[in-house]
Amino acid sequence: MPELKVTQQHLEHDAYLYIRQSTPRQVVENTESTQRQYALRDRAVALGWPLERIHVLDCDLGKSGSQSAGRDGFQKLVSEVALGKAGLVMGLEVSRLARNSADWHRLIELCSLAGALILDEDGIYDPANFNDRLLLGLKGTMSEAELHFLKARMRGGMINKARRGELEMRPPVGLVYRDDGILILDPDAEVQAAMRLVFETFDRTGSAMQTAKLFHEQSLRFPRRIRKGLNKGELHWVRAAHSRILQVLHNPRYAGTFVYGRVRTRLLPDGRHSTIKVPRAEWQFVIPDVHVGYISWEQFETNQKRLAENALGFGVTRKAGPAREGPALLQGRVICGVCGERMSIHYNIAYHQMAPTYVCQEAAIRRAEKVCQRVPGSVVDQAMSNLLLELMQPMTLQVALAVQQEVEARVTETDGLRRKHVERAQYEAELARRRYMNVDPDRRLVADSLEAEWNNKLRILAEAQQQYEQQTQKQRLLIDTETRKQLLSLATDFPRVWNDPCVEPRERKRILRLLIEDVTLINGEMIQAHVRLRGGATRSLTLTKPLPIAQIRKTRPEVVAEIDALLDHHCDREVAEVLNRQGRKTWQDEPFNLKKIAHIRQAFNLKCRYSRLRAKGLLTAKEMSVRHGVTTTTINAWAREGRLKKHRYDNVRRCLYEPLEQNAILKGQGGRQAKQPIFNVARAGQGAV
């Protein structure tokens, strides 16, 4: 008899009844199964356990038994058995305790070690007994297989529907299911306008980041539908994030295509699920044109190609990338002619402006070797600009018309989206007004709440209208008469527009990429540039290397000779003034000044004005005072009165004096009080008074 397995040792421990249903729906609808599980307490009472020592663990109702993670009741049961507190473990079926063989055999092993019995609807089992343990293991395996069969049936039905493209999956924002199961565009016109603006902007700019920036610069919001929680299904308008724009661009459902198998989910050892994106070549089902979409399948393919090219600018390969802000015209399009690797860009400041240098540093990064080669970007970029102007001449008229149409289309797109936003705010304000008007005046609390909501909607409407008017005024400037004239002038004046400093480098790069595939550079005695154009045509250019900066900064010999001659009669400041009057400039195309003349004089070892005057025998005021026996003040006074001839030699008006004969001025008669110093006849004849 099964009752003979129950001994006094078992009765000294508690009995545990584990109750579980797989889903909340089963808990509500399959009440009979739940009652049968609770009825197992009577079996324990009949076997000798008192009612107060029978513990019911029913906190796992509505939880799947495929794993132990998340089942607090089962984990408590296992811990009680491991602590030796359980004498009997009850479950209506093995599937109620566990649908996983690992969890089931772990429980059997613990019961065997602790001496606990297992009871189900069929009988009592002793895990320490080999035959009972074999039977329990078989039941556990059958329970796990049953779950596998159930999942296989459900998955088979899903795969069959997916094969026909009829499987209903959660649609992304902008798409909704009708009552008959047909997937259509969201009836909300504002949502449709926002989604279309994403694809149109990306088609124009070729960058998901630029698409997100457009939403931010134009103060536009992006729709987001709440997927779970109390507000499930509601539509919210949030800031357009770059990651969200990428999700939209990568989702094939916006192209009207049914796709199944984009991700795979597997169970981790800790009970969590891991989702892995599957490569496009391994998608299980791809059925184009199943429902309406915002773009065609061909446009989706083009977008994926552009996104893949943009992604090459990141990660390990870094082969290319989208057009960025820097002035380097060939960014992402330069190949090293020595090793064949892509060349990166270094920027430095030269002549007060940013200058690019194309550097092949793949070997230095990966293998710690030397940099392969460096090519100055200013020379190469100028040559590519000239080549582009040559190639663009036959197309300027078409470009002008396309740009004008693009600007007008962009204004129309954003204006329509803002107008729909204002219409939505007007509708919500009117709806709040009707709610307030229909409320019973005696229900003051409700009326106050509805009045506050109405005021809030009116404030939102006023802000939306004000923002719409401001943005509309800005957009009108893009399509005024003067702007149209400037756009049409591209037909005859494209070089001026191309070289206009107001044009962003990003736009120049996009135009260049339409015609040039890549450029291979070799830096030797001359720079060799081999250009591969779109379509397979090639051009080879030989460019002269720029002069070294030392030669560029070196003063020309004729200027040095001019300065040397001027120093015989002028100080440094006067020399600079003379050169500026002559229209001469420095290597930086700037006027000369005192410091520049002094630097040139030192660099070319030119004698200064002071040394030249001293070489002619001129004396300082101190030397003159010692020679003639007077003070320096007297010497300076005589110079001011014109009795001594002085020559200025520096920029603070210090002077040297032409010497006189030793007895030309008599001591004691040339002081400050002397009216007429005595000069000899010879000196007086030379003009001295």
Q: For 482-523, give the DSSP string.
A: HHHHHHHTHHHHHHHHHT-TTS-HHHHHHHHHHHEEEEEEEE
CA 55/CA 72 separation, integer angstroms: 14
Element (H, E) at 126: none
Q: Could you tell me how far CA 636 lies from the centroid of its own chain? A: 73
* Dihedral sign of CA atoms 457, 459, 462, 464 in order: negative
**CA separation for the pair 468, 448 (Å, rounded):** 30
Q: How far apart are CA 45 and CA 53, in angstroms?
A: 10
Coil/strand/helix, residue 371: coil
Q: Where are the alpha helices (DSSP H) in 231-361?
A: 242-250, 297-311
362 DSSP 8-state letter: H
351's tokens: 């002549």
CA distance 139 to 129: 15
Question: d(Cα 603, Cα 651) in Å, to the nearest integer?
Answer: 20
| Orientation angle between helical segments 31-38 and 40-47, nearest 10 degrees | 10
Determine the Cα–Cα distance for residues 474 and 529; give it in Å rounded to an integer: 43
527-533: strand order across its sheet: 334-336, 516-523, 527-533, 538-543
**What is the C-alpha separation between 217 and 654, in angstroms, rounded?**
63
Please name the residue that has the structure tokens 């990306």: 202
Residue 614, exposed/middle/buried by CB under 10 A (0-12, 13-18, 19+)?
A: middle
Task: From the candidates 22, 68, 95, 207, give the one annotated as an active-site residue.
Answer: 22
Q: What is the 3-state secondary structure (H, E, C) of 617-676?
A: CCECHHHHHHHHCCCHHHHHHHHHCCCCCEEECCCCCCEEECCCCCCCCCCCCCCCCCCC
* CA torsion angle 151 153 158 163 (round to 10): 130
Token code pair at residue 497: 């527009």
Q: Hunting for tokens 């299911």 — which residue is that? A: 177
To the query of whether residue 207 is one of the catalytic residues in this protein, the response is: no
Going from the C-alpha of 286 to that of each of 261, 297, 302, 361, 425, the distances in angstroms are: 9, 11, 17, 42, 40
* Cα–Cα–Cα angle for 194, 200, 204, rounded to 5 degrees: 140
Active-site residue numbers?
A: 22
